[in-house]
């Protein structure tokens, strides 16, 4: 599916009129992924930005069966729904295929919901888990999460004289999911909707557990203009902070995009006020450490995929 086909395809799953912030990334992500499904869809969503802005009583933006889960159990909830459908099939009560999709932010996926997700992947349920990764607990006050990058200033890791932002590395959720040896895992970005949609189409064509991790810019949390979501997302890809790749059966890595010229990490950091302190005189070591981490992770990915820089 190309961009023209994607734009022309009926939006029959997620309606406009939700209450997401202007410029928010996840409504576009949700629509692109669900448009890739040719079969009926059942959705579970963890507590978080997506759930809050799309289901404020008595209104809803969902045009499909939708289950609001707690912060920690979106994957468990969709597992139960999927298991029920499988039981109905065995009892010849239905024969139509249904795509089961669970959504969660990084807080409800990397951290609070990781145990639930791991269990669902290990059990082998037929569902797609989508993490819209905005790199902090944006819905509850912009606190740091396991997805928050090194150096970022959040409300729980404020950049100051003693501690200049978050000092820990971020988790690599895609590789954690791939370590479960499931059929399909992919990392995607709002900046490349064709790549994202193709990965969703591929995921829906595969039986068993699948995971998509999608970078989802947050203008209040990242402190960026509302019209910069695409450019910010593209910069993350061009600097290799957020590579586009997929993993099949836990070991077959494929890099979907390699920049012609890998940009320095400050190209991604400089337009986000959460990183402003890293670019100030005296904090050069922060920038050097951030670049080192990106280079190391990009090198690992190239090695996993059997490629060279």
pLDDT in tens, 188-221: 999 999 999 999 999 999 999 999 999 999 999 9
Q: Is pLDDT of 17 > 90?
A: no
First to last CA, the chain: 29
Distance between CA atoms of residues 12 and 159, nearest Å: 43
Q: How far is residue 69 from each of residues 45, 48, 72, 115, measured CA to CA in Å?
A: 6, 10, 8, 15
Confidence at residue 6, expressed as pLDDT on a 0 to 100 scale: 74
Distance CA 119, CA 123 (A): 6
Confidence bin at 11 (pLDDT 50/70/90): confident
pLDDT for the residue 292:
98
Residue 111 has pLDDT above 90, yes or no: yes
* pLDDT at residue 9 greater than cutoff 80: no
**Whether pLDDT at 23 is above 90:** no
The reported pTM is 0.96
Instruction: Calculate mean pLDDT across residues 58-85.
Output: 95
Element (H, E) at 116: helix 114-123
Phi-psi region of 47 (alpha: psi -120 to 50; beta: other; left: phi over 0): beta
Q: Which residue has the tokens 């050069």?
A: 284
Dihedral (C-alpha) 167, 165, 73, 67: value to the nearest 10 degrees? Answer: -150
Q: State the alpha helices, DSSP H only, in 189-228.
A: 193-205, 219-222
**Tens digits of per-residue pLDDT, 253-267?**
999 999 999 999 999
Element (H, E) at 104: strand 99-105
Q: Kindly list the structural domains of the chain, giving each domain's residue range(s) and its CATH number in brackets, ordered by start.
A: 3-304 (3.40.50.970)
Output the DSSP codes for 125-169: -S-EEEEEE-SSBGGGTSB--TTPPTT---SSS-B-SS-BS--SP
- Count CB-CB contacts under 10 A for residue 161: 5
């Amino acid at each position: 599916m190309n961009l023209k086909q994607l734009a022309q395809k009926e939006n029959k799953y997620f309606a406009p009129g939700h209450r997401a912030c202007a410029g928010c990334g996840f409504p576009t992500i949700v629509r692109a992924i669900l448009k890739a499904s040719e079969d009926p869809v059942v959705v579970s969503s963890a507590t978080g930005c997506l759930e809050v802005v799309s289901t404020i009583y008595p209104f809803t933006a969902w045009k499909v069966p939708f289950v609001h889960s707690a912060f920690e159990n979106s994957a468990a909830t969709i597992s139960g729904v999927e298991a029920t459908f499988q039981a109905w099939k065995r009892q010849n009560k239905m024969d139509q295929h249904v795509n089961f999709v669970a959504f969660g932010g990084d807080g409800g996926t990397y951290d609070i919901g990781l145990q639930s997700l791991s269990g669902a992947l290990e059990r082998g349920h037929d569902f797609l888990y989508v993490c819209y990764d905005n790199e902090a607990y944006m819905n509850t006050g912009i606190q740091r999460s396991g997805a928050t990058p090194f150096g970022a200033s959040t409300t729980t890791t404020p950049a100051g004289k003693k501690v200049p932002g978050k000092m820990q590395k971020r988790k690599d959720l895609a590789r954690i999911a791939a370590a479960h040896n499931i059929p399909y895992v992919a990392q995607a970005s709002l900046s490349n909707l064709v790549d994202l949609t193709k990965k969703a189409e591929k995921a829906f064509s595969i039986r068993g557990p699948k995971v998509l991790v999608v970078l989802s810019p947050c203008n209040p949390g990242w402190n960026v203009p509302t019209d910069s979501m695409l450019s910010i997302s593209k910069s993350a890809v061009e600097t290799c902070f957020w590579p586009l790749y997929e993993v099949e059966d836990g070991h077959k890595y494929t890099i979907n995009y390699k920049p012609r010229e890998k940009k320095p990490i400050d190209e991604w950091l400089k337009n986000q006020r959460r990183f402003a302190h890293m670019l100030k005189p005296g904090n050069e070591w922060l920038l050097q450490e951030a670049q080192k981490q990106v280079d190391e992770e990009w090198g690992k990915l190239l090695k996993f995929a059997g490629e060279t820089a």
